[in-house]
Structure 1
Amino acid sequence: MIFLVTIFNYVDRATLSIAASALRKDLGFDAVTMGIAFSAFGWAYTAMQIPGGIVLDRFGSRLVLGLSLIIWSALTFLQGYVDLFSSAFAALFVLRFLMGVAESPAFPANNRLTVMWFPSQERGMATAVFQSAQYAALAIFTPIMVWTLSTWGWQHVFFFTGAAGVLIGLLWFRFVQEPHRDKRVSKAELDYIEAGGGLPQIGDAPAPFSWAQVRSIGANRMMLGIYLGQFCLTTITWFFLTWFPTYLIEAKGMTMLKVGLVASVPAIAGCLGGMVGGLWSDWMLRRGFSLTVARKTPIICGLLLSSSIVVANYIDSTAIIVLVMSIAFFSKGVGNLGWCIVGDVSPKRAMGISGGMFNFCGNLASIVTPIAIGVMINKLGSFDAALMYVAAMGLLGAFSYLFIVGPLHRLEIDDPQATPVDSAPVEPVRVSP
């Protein structure tokens, strides 16, 4: 269910990128205006991460994520009517902004549920499954949305995806519970989860909040390095979510229907890469590697290889461009274990806040990337600088995990008796609020 919800999380984000080319012609938006419209989601989504984390710790993942899904899907549906407003840009910006508010608790909720339901040695794969939904969304729904656009117009892209998301929200409330409230769960299963480092009990009571928790988490070098790495990785994601279809049309001369097929191939590669990264990390844990090595190795390798996207600047062949983009997106998928690390190292009683801070820093890229690339296109008249920028972010992210993050430990701001989760004998990190 987390996988399915996350698919529609990303489908609803990607609707505007699919509709962008036709919408720009109908509404007369230039590249900078379109970049600002793309970024509207990111402004709200990013700003609401810490408040969303507080709400999550207070009311729990099931309720918050289910309501969020229904609200953001309804807002997606309404975007099909922006051409009826006197200022289509203002209407689009406001609806995308509100959608960002509604989606803000989604990934912290995913992470919190995964920590509650899975022991450490299974969490890499569990995280990879819900993380792979972002690629599955693009791979499965890009051709569907392009066909919808070509057949009925850009408005129906928003209508169909929004309506489907509301339906999934109703299914969520029917099937999902937190561990201690699920009647199908035995005591043996709860004991197994807890013995393996899972935290099935964190949803049993509302978690207290204090700004001292935020300060303690934000002042920690390990967390700052993880946050920088996520910003870099999210930059790559947002290039694909926003400008990639336009890049294929305007820089490589592809038709819209061809883009619908071509754009799905890197997404499939990203989905496979995500599974490989999760399996690789969990395999290393079972083989006796420390948590630090098992989690950081796939991330560093993936970020380094994702910088190969810059090769697309020097080729014209459609087949080779698709191959280069697929390698870059596969690599980004392999390295997409940041949420797994957040589950491993966040304070037990501040999981939502820690996840919100992580997603806040990562999704600053959702604001910066669309606008920066729009400016580069307007000023330089090509996508070459944009691809160099995306490649540089891959290298910077790898640098952060190599030289800033250091050993991984459960950050202790609530429970001074807790022990580090890393199997290596390193002193735990204790931070007083």
Structure 2
Amino acid sequence: MTEATRAGRVRWTVLAMLFAVTVINYADRATLSLAAPFLSKDLGIDKLQLGIVFSAFGWSYVVAQIPGGWLLDRYGARRVYFAAIALWSLFTAMQGGVVWLSGATAISALFAFRFLVGFAEAPSFPGNARLVAAWFPAKERGTASAIFNAAQYFATVLFAPIMGLIIAGFGWPWVFVFMGALGMIASAVWLKVIFEPRRHPRLGQAELALIAEGGALVDPVEPTAKVPDGDMRRKLGILLGTRTLWGLYLGQFFINTLTYFFITWFPVYLVEERGLSVVKAGLFATVPALCGFAGGVLGGIFSDWLLRRGATLTIARKVPVVAGMLLALAILGCNYVDSNLMILLFMSLAFFGKGIGALGWAVMSDVAPRDCAGLSGGIFNMFGNISSIVTPIVIGLILKQTGSFDLVLSLVAASALAAALSYLFVVGKIGRLGEPA
């Protein structure tokens, strides 16, 4: 039995809760993409308008990152994240109500509800990173971050077939109602499971010592009632003036281009370009998603293995990212084959690679200054999710002009290459900012 096992496993229970709510988080983002082929016909939405509606989430999600990060630092992840889950679930359910509207009114309402979902979800990933930094020692942090990040793929594995069946059997509005209700249940469970380490009723002293001695932020800097003059300027100066962080911001932007293709336009690609039914598209999408999930978990395990074998933190984090992004270039193969089986193979390879390389949040947990972990995650997520605005609109514009996904898949591949180059040539040495190496 290892020391980590003897010490206790409360931290893994916390991670399981993060994984569960992140699965729901991404499933809520994907509801519109699965409903889109039918919703767009019912509401009379063309490709560019659909791309704009897809982007509504991104506009608010990006704008709310810095306030969301500040709220996490000020009031703690437990309370802020609970409110976020409850609110995004409510706004997800309300999207089903647009079925009673029509024309511009329906489009405006759908945009507004998606906008509110994005606003409510803003603290989620900075909250994940903050909790992982508080609960996990450095040697486990890559695995923990990869697991919660891999939930985005598991969301498709678990919910895409269910949503397809709901749409086929009951109509597209009910997927929004179903996911909203599930999120409300999750918000209640959250309060029973999540605490700061020193306040957790079931955490033993041995496990607390293990995570604290391993570099976890079990004692985050408590905010004062009055923020000192210049303190925010100092923090922003570090977070916006460090080359390594800019490399992470760029890398996350390009990695998220792949993410938002997958959770917005990929089901449309399967239904309209490849001629699959909505049920078959939901089942088809689970295979690349499973590969992305496996890659995500393996990328974190491999990174932590390198660290335990004596690699520097910089090498242990960069190698999986660069290798994974280069493997994601396999998506280009879809432009040169007609067989759905070959499409499945190339997509699966691409999303396996994307999963391996999605270690940005682990790196943020490694480098974020102790006194602004939430704000650091918020800025990182803000820059990374600008792609949630750009990607859906650019893809919609390409499709409206060309009527084909060929250029779209080339754009996605180019983004994977750009992510690899960002980590190779812009991200420097990885280590916590403001502390000795």
TM, length-normalised to structure 2: 0.93
1:202 aligns to what SS in structure 2? coil
Task: Tell me what 1:426 maps to.
Answer: none
The correspondence for 1:200, drawn from 195, 218, 223, is 218
Q: Could you report, residue by residue, the CA deviation over 1:59-81 in whole angstroms, capped at 9, with x for unpaired residues?
A: 00111111100110010000000
Shift of 1:191: 2.1
1:116 pairs, out of 105, 116, 134, with 134
Please tell me whether the aligned partners of residues 221 and 371 of structure 2 are also in contact (alpha carbons under 8 angstroms). no
What amino acid is the match of 2:177?
F
The residue number in structure 2 matching 1:75 is: 91
1:220–1:96 distance in 2 versus 1, CA, 3 Å: same
Within the candidate set 32, 41, 65, 1:16 is matched to 32
Give the corresponding residue for 2:5.
none
1:307 maps onto 2:325 in alignment = no
- Structure 1 pair 105–206 and aligned structure 2 pair: CA distance change class (3 A): farther
Classify the secondary structure of the residue corresponding to 1:212: helix
Are 1:357 and 2:373 counterparts? no
> What's the counterpart of residue 430 of structure 1?
none
Identical columns (%): 49
Q: What is the rounded CA distance, in whole Å, between the counterparts of 1:206 and 1:145 in structure 2?
A: 46
Q: CA RMSD in A?
A: 1.2
Checking the alignment, whether the CA contact within 8 Å between 1:238 and 1:365 is kept in structure 2 is yes
Asked if structure 2 preserves the Cα contact closer than 8 Å seen for 1:266 and 1:322, the reply is: yes
**1:168-179 paired onto structure 2 within 5 Å:** 168-179=186-197
Q: Contact 1:70/1:166 (CA < 8 Å) preserved in 2?
A: yes
Q: CA deviation at 1:198?
A: 0.9
Contact 1:178 1:203 (8 Å CA) reproduced: no
Residue 317, structure 1, aligned to residue 339, structure 2: yes
Question: 3-state DSSP class of the match of 2:311?
Answer: coil
User: Distance between the aligned counterparts of 2:134 and 2:279, measured in 1?
Assistant: 43
Report what 1:368 is aligned to.
390
SS in 1 for 2:310: coil
Check if 1:330 corresponds to 2:347.
no
The answer (yes or no) to whether the contact 1:310–1:388 under 8 Å persists in 2 is yes
- Which residue number corresponds to residue 53 of structure 1? 69
| 1:251 aligned residue | 273
Which residue in 1 is equivalent to 2:430? Answer: 408
Q: Is the 8 A contact 2:81 2:127 kept in 1?
A: yes
Question: Equivalent residue for 2:21?
Answer: 5
* Aligned match of 2:81: 65
Over residues 309-364 of structure 1, what are the superposed CA-to-partner deviations in whole Å (9 max), with x where a residue is unaligned?
01101111011101110110110000011000000001111101110010001100
1:206: how far off? 5.9
Asked if the contact 1:6–1:133 (Cα under 8 Å) also holds between the matched residues in 2, the reply is: yes
| SS of aligned partner of 1:123 | helix
Identify the range of structure 1 (246-255 vs 359-368) with the bigger mean alpha-carbon deviation.
246-255
Question: Displacement of 1:255 after TM fit?
Answer: 1.8
Distance 2:133 2:183 in 1: 25
C-alpha distance in 1 between matches for 2:328 and 2:387: 16
Report how far residue 211 of structure 1 moved.
Answer: 3.0
Q: What letter is aligned with 1:144?
A: I
Matched, 1:225 2:247: yes
2-structure distance, mates of 1:183, 1:12: 31
Post-superposition Cα deviations, 1:34-84, rounded to whole Å, max 9, x if no partner, equal 000000000000111111100110000111111100110010000000122
152, 160, 185: which one aligns with 2:203: 185
- Structure 1's unaligned 5+ residue stretches are 413-417, 421-433
Map 1:376-415 → 2, pairs under 5 A: 376-412=398-434
Flag the 1:350–1:135 CA change in 2: closer, same or farther, 3 A.
same
Tell me which residue corresponds to 1:288: 310
Please tell me whether residue 33 in structure 1 is matched to residue 55 in structure 2.
no
Structure 1 residue 251 displacement after superposition:
1.3
SS in 1 for 2:220: helix
Q: Deviations over 1:287-313 (max 9, x none)?
A: 000000001100010111112101101
Q: Distance in 2 between matches of 1:382 and 1:169?
A: 41
* Cα distance in 2, alignment partners of residues 39 and 212 from structure 1: 32
1:157 alignment counterpart:
175
Match of residue 139 from structure 1 = 157
Gaps in structure 2 of 5+ consecutive residues = 1-16
* In structure 1, distance between residues paired with 2:233 and 2:349: 42
Deviation at 1:215, TM superposition (A): 2.4
Shift of 1:189: 2.1
In structure 1, what is the Cα distance between the partners aligned to 2:354 and 2:123? Answer: 23
Take 1:71 and 1:203, find their aligned partners in 2: how far apart are those partners?
28
What is the aligned length?
A: 415
The answer to whether the 8 A contact 2:288-2:348 is kept is yes
Amino acid at match of 2:158: I
**Mapped contact 2:34–2:278 kept (Cα < 8 A):** no
Give the distance between the partners of 1:206 and 1:106, measured in 2 at CA.
23
What TM-score results when the alignment is normalised by the length of structure 1?
Answer: 0.94
Residue of structure 1 equivalent to 2:108? 90
Q: Secondary structure at the match of 1:210?
A: helix
Structure 1 equivalent of residue 236 of structure 2: 214
Q: Is the 8 A contact 1:60 1:203 kept in 2?
A: no
CA contact (8 A) 2:135 2:218 kept: yes
How much does 1:194 deviate?
A: 1.7
Number of the residue aligned with 2:11:
none
Q: Is residue 94–residue 177 contact of structure 2 (8 Å, CA) maintained in 1?
A: yes
One-letter code of the match for 1:382? Answer: S
CA offset digits 1:151-197 (Å, max 9, x no partner): 00000010101100000100101221110111222333222212111
